[in-house]
Chain A
Amino acid sequence: MAQKMNIVCVTGTREKLQMAAMIASVAAATGDEVSVFLSMNALPYFLKGHTQDAPVEGELGTLMAQEKGVPSFKVLFQQAVELGDAKLLPCSMAMDIMKITHDDFDPEVGPATGLTRFLSDAEGGQMLTF
């Protein structure tokens, strides 16, 4: 059964971004309606030309960074959008603080979204935070 899966990405570390991207891509490709709210230190990774080399938190992150065969979190988020119609929603507050507009983001990123809108759309679904 399709369900609503809401993912809040706020931490800019490799492990958290990777786990969020894995869940988003698999859930979206399985038919879930996936929305990913991007804010705080996770948001800059979705800016055009920004480094994808997120700092690691610990042992697993270090191992993942060394392995060639681990799909990058950016590719997984793109696949969530392309293969499963996931939405990547940048937090409008964080965009104001960073003084950026929608044009500054990679093409897979959706419209600027406020918390009120995100929470109201998320009603009744699952909510995961990374």
Chain B
Amino acid sequence: MSDSKIVDARDTFCPGPLMELIRNMKQSNVGDTLELLSTDEGSGADVPEWVNKVGHEILSNEKIDGVWHIKIRKAK
């Protein structure tokens, strides 16, 4: 069974949201989906950069009312 989880890192600055995502990724299983919420402006570009570099999968990335919602699937 794959899980879905929200990682709420709003109101923290770089690299807080990324580190929070990574901490949660480590505790997740392959196939799980994580949705990162971030108000840090750089997250929209920087988090996908990390996800692609490390080899996971970006499912969606959008900014809603000033909050980045980045959905990631743990691929390995």
Which residues of A does B touch, CB under 8 Å?
22, 25-26, 29-31, 67-71, 76, 79, 83
Contacts and interface: CB of A to CB of B under 8 A. Distances in A.
Contacts of B22: 29, 79, 83
Interface string B11-28: 111111011001100100
Nearest to A70: B13
A29 B18 contact: yes
9 contacts: A26-B50, A29-B18, A70-B13, A71-B12, A71-B15, A71-B16, A71-B19, A79-B23, A83-B19
Interface of B: 11-16, 18-19, 22-23, 26, 50, 53-54
B41 to A, nearest CB: 13
Given A30-B54, A31-B54, A25 B19 contact: yes
A107 to B, nearest CB: 18
B18 A26 contact: yes
Contacts of B13: 67, 69-71
A93 B68 CA distance: 46
Contacts of A83: 19, 22-23, 26
Nearest to B11: A69
Contact of B19 (A31, A69, A79): A79
Contact of B15 (A31, A67, A68, A76): A76
